[in-house]
Amino acid sequence: MTASSPFITGARAALPIVGGYLPVAVTFGIVAAEGGLAPVETVAASAIVFSGAAQFLLVGMRADALPATTILGLLIAINARHLFYGPPIARRLPASRPGLAPVIAHGLTDEVFALSLTGLDRQPEARRWGWFAGVAAAAWAAWVAGTALGAAAGGALAGRGAAISATLEFALPALFVILLMPHFKGTVRLGMAAAFSLGAIAKLAGAPNAGIPAAAIAGTLVWYGAESWTRRSSS
Amino acid sequence: MDAPILLLILALGLATFAFRAVPFLTGGRVDRLPPRLVEALDKLGLMVIAAILAVSLIPGPGEPIGAATLAPPLAGVAATIAVHAWLEKVGLTILAGMAAYYLATLAVG
């Protein structure tokens, strides 16, 4: 493979994704170790699922002892958004190598989608499959390697006292705050406030298991109602 | 090793893989679903995160509500928001939030 092969060019183009993934993946490894996942389970989650938000939520919901069917149902609904990343990418790839598609599709995360949407158009058609494979493989490798590092670090830090343990557990809420901050505006803010408030009430009432899905669905309905009302008012 | 968690990971991985791969196999025909449904699924993810955040931060019915249980998460969230608004670096922000949480734990403990 030469230095100018499309695969290598794609892997180089993915460097910003790699830089962004590594610290988050390390954090996931630490949080998962703190949440009781064995290192092999933690790395398997990153290698097989390869979806950061879903993986963090999986650890969080498992820590809250939600039933497995509830966890799976919610996470599948959340990851259904990936269904809409494929079409614009598929349209940019020549049809000559369709057999590769399902394999490469595993790397189609939010960030890989965003980079490929513009990056593929700048590649000659014959190089697009290789370029996309390079982007996806680099992103996946960074995510899995970072997770392994984090799982090892988390295992080493575990059992060092209650304050350290509680502090490590705080990595998860901190990440959730970071994920929510850019979206905390407009009608989405109303939905988030409703979901947070109902989640808090459910926790205070001692029913977080039922509370999380109910609060999330209620928050989505609040957003939907507010958004519909806003669009009607402005039209 | 915990078989249920591995099964959960496998099932979620399979479903996520199917969502990613199907459009490639169907020639991109799945993007004709109502845009509002697509948007709602996207928002559902944010709402799950908001609900779990509340459950992570709020003390349970058996825990005392006071400085010892409220100060660390409040300090941690405040530091997380401030540092992320300033630097927009995920790794550094999480470290700052954890540091504030730890210092507040020591201060009130």
Using alpha carbons only, give the angle B70, B74, B80 rounded to the nearest 5 degrees: 155
Asked whether A87 and B28 are in contact (CB, 8 A), the reply is yes
In chain A, the residue whose alpha carbon lies closest to the alpha carbon of B58 is: A200
pLDDT tens, residue by residue, B28-67: 555 566 778 778 877 887 888 898 899 889 888 888 888 8
How many angstroms separate the CA atoms of A27 and A219, rounded? 27
- Count of other CB atoms within 10 angstroms of residue A149: 15
Interface of A with B in 145-164 (CB under 8 A): 163-164
ipTM of the complex in this document: 0.83
In chain B, the residue whose alpha carbon lies closest to the alpha carbon of A182 is: B85
Give the pLDDT confidence score for residue A130 in this predicted structure: 92
Question: What are the backbone angles phi and psi of residue A10, rounded to the nearest 5°?
Answer: -65, -45
Model pTM score: 0.72
With tokens 């509370």, the residue in question is A211
For A136-172, the DSSP string reads: HHHHHHHHHHHHHHHHHHHHHHTTS-HHHHHHHHTHH
How many angstroms separate the CA atoms of B54 and A201, rounded? 9
Percent of the residues in chain B that have a pLDDT greater than 70, as a whole number = 91
Please report, in tens digits, the pLDDT of each residue of chain A (235 residues total).
Answer: 555 899 999 999 888 888 878 888 888 998 898 888 999 999 999 999 999 888 988 998 888 778 888 889 988 888 887 877 787 788 788 876 667 777 788 998 878 888 887 788 889 988 999 999 999 999 999 999 999 999 998 877 766 667 777 887 788 788 889 888 988 999 999 999 999 999 999 989 888 777 888 998 999 999 999 999 999 988 7
- In Å, how far from its chain's centre is CA A9? 25
Contact between B76 and A173 using a beta-carbon 8 Å cutoff: yes
Q: Please name which of A63, A185, B63 lies closest in space to residue B72, comparing C-alpha atoms.
A: B63
Contact between B20 and A192 using a beta-carbon 8 Å cutoff: no
Helix or strand (DSSP H, E) at A178: helix A171-180
Interface of A with B in 15-44 (CB under 8 A): 20, 22-24, 26-27, 37-38, 40-41, 44
Name chain B contacts of A224, Cβ cutoff 8 Å: 36, 40, 43
How many angstroms separate the CA atoms of A182 and A81, rounded? 18
- In this complex, the residue of B6, B23, B85 whose CB is nearest that of residue A41 is B6
Q: Report the Cα–Cα distance between both ends of chain A, in Å, rounded.
A: 56
How many angstroms separate the CA atoms of A109 and A86, rounded? 10
How many angstroms separate the CA atoms of A100 and A94, rounded? 11
